[in-house]
Amino acid sequence: MQKISIIIPTYNEEKYIEQCIESLLKQDYPSDITEILIVDGRSSDNTREIVKSYSEKYPFIKLLDNPHRIVPHAMNTGIQHARGDYIIRLDAHATYPLNYFSAIVKHAQKHNTDNIGGICITDVKKINNRSWAIKTALSHKFGVGNSTFRLGASKPQIVDTVPFGCFKRDVFERFGKYDERLVRNQDIELNKRIKNGGGKIMLIPQITCTYYARETFSGLAKNNYKNGLWNILTVYYTKNFQSLSLRHFIPLFFVLSLIVPVLLSVIYFDMIWLAMTTFAIYTLALLLICISITRYRLWKILYLFPAFILLHTSYGFGSIAGIFKILKLKIADR
CB 168 within 8 A of CB 86: yes
Residue 68 has pLDDT above 90, yes or no: yes
Asked if 163 and 262 sit in the same domain, the reply is no
Find out whether 241 and 138 touch, Cβ atoms under 8 Å.
Answer: no
- Do 210 and 254 belong to one domain? no
Q: Does some domain include residue 176? A: yes
**What is the tens place of the pLDDT at every residue in 146-188?**
777 777 778 888 988 898 889 999 999 999 999 999 998 899 8
303 neighbors 216 (Cβ within 8 angstroms) = no
pLDDT digits 0-9 by tens, 259-276: 999 999 888 888 899 999
What band does 243 get if pLDDT is binned at 50, 70 and 90?
low
- Worst-scoring range by mean pLDDT, 19-28, 84-93, 260-269? 260-269
Question: Are residues 199 and 138 both part of a single domain?
Answer: yes
| Total number of domains in the chain | 2
pLDDT at 333: 73
Residues 70 and 157 in one domain: yes
* Contact status, residue 8 vs residue 37, Cβ threshold 8 Å: yes
Based on the domain organization, do 305 and 172 belong to the same domain?
no
Total residue count of the chain as it appears in this document: 334
Residues 278, 206, single domain; the answer is no
For the cut 90, the answer to whether the pLDDT of residue 295 exceeds it is: no
Please indicate, yes or no, whether residues 13 and 75 belong to a single structural domain of this protein: yes
* pLDDT for the residue numbered 266: 87
H/E stretch holding 207 reads: strand 201-212
Does 299 reside within a domain?
yes
pLDDT tops 70 at residue 220? yes
Of 180, 199, 215, the one marking the end of a domain is: 215
Give the pLDDT confidence score for residue 151 in this predicted structure. 78
In this structure, is residue 207 part of a structural domain?
yes
SS (H, E, C) 268-307: CHHHHHHHHHHHHHHHHHHHHHHHHHHCCCHHHHHHHHHH
263 and 185 belong to one structural domain:
no
% of the chain surpassing 90 pLDDT: 76
pLDDT for position 153? 77
Which CATH number characterizes residue 71's domain?
3.90.550.10
Single residue among 198, 215, 232 that ends a domain in this structure: 215
236 in any annotated domain: no
| 189 falls within a domain | yes
Average pLDDT over residues 11-25: 95
Q: How much is the pTM?
A: 0.89
Give the model's pLDDT for residue 129. Answer: 93
* Domain carrying residue 265: 241-333
pLDDT tens column, 309-320: 999 999 999 999
Q: Decide if 227 is inside a domain.
A: no
Say if residue 296's pLDDT is above 80: no
Q: Which amino acid is at 43?
A: S
The verdict on residue 40 lying in a domain is: yes
> Is the domain of 175 the same as that of 257?
no
Rounded average pLDDT over 292-299: 84
Same domain, 35 and 159: yes
Contacts of residue 118, defined as CB under 8 A and 6 or more positions apart, other chains included, come to 103, 104, 149, 162, 164, 203, 204, 205, 206, 207, 208, 209
- Cβ-proximal residues to 35 (8 Å cutoff; 6+ apart), any chain: 3, 4, 5, 6, 60, 62, 82, 83, 84
Q: What is the pLDDT of residues 122-148, one digit of tens each?
A: 999 888 999 999 999 999 989 888 777
Residues 170 and 285 in one domain: no
Q: Does residue 229 fall inside a structural domain?
A: no
Same domain as 246, residue 198: no
* Main-chain dihedrals φ then ψ at residue 210, nearest 5 degrees: -115, 120
Give the pLDDT mean for 43-69. Answer: 96
